[in-house]
Amino acid sequence: MKLVQNDTILFYGDSITDAGRNRAESGDLGQGYPLMTAGRIQADYPDLNLTFLNRGISGDKVADLKQRLQEDCISLNPTVVSILIGINDTWHIENSTALGSAEVMVQFEQDYREVLKRIKEETEARIILMEPFVLPYPEDRANWRFDLDQRIHIIRKLAKEFHAEFVTLDGPLNAYGIKHSFQYLTGEDGVHPTVAGHGLIAKKWLEIIE
């Protein structure tokens, strides 16, 4: 993807994107990968007059993104929309018989497709889809794989269908964790990135920028 003059890049998602942003300040990027990514790009492309926005909200599932799409995405007139969502869709049903069920996956795909369809129809934005991830520490996170892997497959399919850029995260983070330490990237829950984890996510995002 090539960034162009006056692009507005919107980061849209859950707590991983939110990263402690001050929601009272519309331009606050939080303390995670959106801030790291914006800092690097603005340093590299000072003449492009880029705007970066963060509309991540902790705890969100894909249905929540769909519900607030008008206010937190479309009305902002972004020219690039980057979406990272899906881990809460798994986490919130971890002890339910719905975990990994076909019915849940059908709804997930339907909601995600509606989000992308509206972005395509109601904005001129190019779309970046980031895959959700989980690391196997603590060990019970391994029980999430059957559910999350299906969601990752759906997101990959949607990326192709909507001609979106795709950022692979689950494999690279797990590979790094195997070599070094899972806790080094996601602390004690296998999901929320440390500074190093956010740095690796930013690095993977930046790889798609020409």
Q: CA-CA distance, 11 to 202, in Å (whole number)?
A: 12
Catalytic residue among 75, 92, 140, 189: 189
Q: Is 192 a catalytic residue?
A: yes
Nearest residue to 56 (alpha-carbon basis) of 87, 79, 94: 87
Catalytic residue among 111, 147, 192, 198: 192
> Hunting for tokens 């990326």 — which residue is that?
159
Both tokens of 157, joined, read 């399919």
Q: Is 72 a catalytic residue?
A: no
Residue 210 half-sphere exposure toward CB, CA atoms < 13 A: 5
Catalytic residue among 15, 72, 170, 198: 15
Are 38 and 9 a contacting pair, CB within 8 Å? yes
Q: Any idea which residues carry the catalytic annotation? A: 15, 189, 192
